């Protein structure tokens, strides 16, 4: 019974951290400490550092291991060039090689997975990560930043790849708009908004 209570508390903590829900019976500080007692991995891909900022907010609350995905061959800095390259990778199914290495991934119980929306899809480097590492049986919590058009098919693709995982409701928020020269925006009032934004992830408690 104690084990089941702990498990439920962990699910609740994870959900509340992302969806902003509150409960009088379970203070957020207690939930944060509960999740810190588990093995948490936060993996993210970030080009303009907005997704990185969200990942760091999560890390501040949960502890665990924070890992940025880095490629063996980085994408070009030019916006149009990277758009063309990513479109080609999506069309051909190409998976870029990751420079990032994660040791003993089997030890993690919860995996937060963060990425920007690229071409209304899950970025190819994140597909590389999901297909390279065995996440079966883990609880996956996706989060996303976008330029105003939403997550696209990113969360659905993640669920299809992670068929043997428990994938909770994803968290998505608007970040920069690189095509318009608006890059990092995740500070000040926007940072506070991200920390308190409500999402529908609480339904996953069922």
Tokens of 147: 């330029």
pLDDT, the chain, mean: 80
Segment 30-81, tens digit of pLDDT: 545 555 557 999 999 999 899 999 999 889 888 999 999 999 999 999 999 9
Looking at the predicted structure, is the pLDDT value of residue 25 above 60?
A: no
pLDDT at 101: 97
Compare 194 and 140 and report the one with higher pLDDT: 140
Looking at the predicted structure, is the pLDDT value of residue 188 above 90?
A: no
Any idea which of 6-15, 64-73, 121-130 has the lowest mean pLDDT? 6-15
Domain coverage including residue 176 = 2-205
What SS3 class is residue 199? coil
Q: 141 Cβ partners below 8 Å, 6+ apart?
A: 14, 18, 110, 111, 112, 113, 167, 168, 170, 171
Segment 96-109, tens digit of pLDDT: 999 999 999 999 99
* Angle ∠(37,43,49) on CA atoms, nearest 5: 120
Compare 37 and 111 and report the one with higher pLDDT: 111
Domain count, the chain: 1
CATH code for the domain of 45: 3.40.50.360
| Alpha carbons 17 and 5: distance in angstroms, whole number | 18
């Amino acid at each position: 019974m104690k084990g089941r209570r702990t498990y439920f508390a962990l699910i609740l903590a994870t959900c509340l951290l992302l969806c902003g829900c509150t409960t009088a019976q379970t203070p957020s500080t207690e939930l944060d400490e509960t999740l810190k007692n588990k093995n948490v991995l936060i993996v993210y891909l970030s080009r303009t550092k907005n997704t990185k900022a969200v990942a760091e907010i999560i890390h501040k609350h949960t502890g665990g291991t924070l890992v940025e995905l880095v490629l063996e061959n980085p994408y070009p800095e030019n916006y149009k060039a990277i758009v063309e390259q990513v479109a080609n990778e999506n069309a051909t199914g190409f998976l870029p090689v990751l420079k990032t290495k994660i040791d003993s991934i089997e030890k993690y119980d919860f995996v937060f997975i963060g990425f920007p929306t690229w071409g209304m899809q899950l970025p190819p480097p994140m597909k590389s990560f999901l297909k390279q590492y065995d996440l079966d049986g883990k609880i996956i919590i996706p989060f996303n930043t976008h330029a105003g058009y939403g997550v696209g098919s990113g969360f659905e693709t993640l669920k299809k790849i992670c068929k043997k995982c428990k994938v909770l409701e994803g968290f998505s928020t608007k970040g920069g708009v690189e095509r318009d020269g608006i890059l990092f925006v995740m500070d000040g009032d926007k940072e506070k908004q991200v920390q308190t934004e409500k999402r529908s992830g609480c339904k996953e408690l069922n």
